[in-house]
Amino acid sequence: MAKNNATVDRIQAIWNMIGGDDMVDALIEGRAELKVAMIKLFEWVSVVKIPATTKKFIAKREFSRLRRCGICSQFNNDFVSWFIGDSSKIEGPTDQRVISCGALSEFSVDSKIINLLGGEKKCETLLMDMCDLMLKQSKGEEDHVLLTNGRQNVFFIRDIFGELRLVVLFWKYNGWAIYAFVIGQRGINLGNHVFYQGP
């Protein structure tokens, strides 16, 4: 009996690692493919449903509001230039969508993560997705999917020029700090959360 229980535990562990019920259904239906290297790189954390929107998301206006409210504390210069500067990133309206979150099980770099996720199309999320998650943890609460313990939350988001950028979100004492970087060989540490299209 103990051996049977161990087998069930292993199956459950693999089930969770590949994304739970939603991901398994997607695999069966041919909407997703399984990559062993991806399983090794990530420990599955959660699948998050992002609600549909009926209005356009105007990044400059939204992030100015978040900063005034004390939800955002800091932006680096590249985030300002690429998303909320003189020209603003505009997204939506959109249908309800699902994004996945995995915790890195080893040190990696941004370009490798993109490749293992299946390329830019698979890894790309929206700025409004990140904003929705921030609002759920506007005071740095630890009860949802974003890390607030000093570790980073990693997104891949297109800027106003259509370039995919690495966007890093982390809690910094008195609010969310957001930094954007050119994608290349930037290191991302063990334990950080990576968000991507899913299941």
pLDDT of 173: 83
Does one domain contain both 84 and 116? yes
Does one domain contain both 116 and 164? yes
Please tell me whether the overall predicted TM-score, pTM, comes out greater than 0.85 for this model.
no
Residue 1 pLDDT class (50, 70, 90 cuts): very low
Tell me, what amino acid is at 20?
G
The pLDDT of 37-57, averaged and rounded, is: 84
Q: Please, what is the average pLDDT of the chain?
A: 86
pLDDT of 164: 97
The encoded tokens of residue 101 equal 């979150």
Does one domain contain both 9 and 91? no
For the chain, where are the E strands, in sequence order?
42-50, 57-58, 72-75, 90-91, 97-104, 108-109, 153-158, 164-171, 176-182, 187-188, 193-197
Peptide bond into 199 cis (omega under 30): yes
Could you list the residue range(s) of the whole structural domain that residue 28 is in? 1-34
pLDDT tens for residues 122-139? 899 999 999 999 999 999
Greater confidence (6 vs 144) lies with: 144
Does one domain contain both 25 and 53? no
Does one domain contain both 159 and 70? yes
- Cα distances from 100 to residues 16, 68, 84, 124, 177, in angstroms, run 12, 29, 25, 11, 21
Does one domain contain both 43 and 92? yes
DSSP one-letter code for 88: B
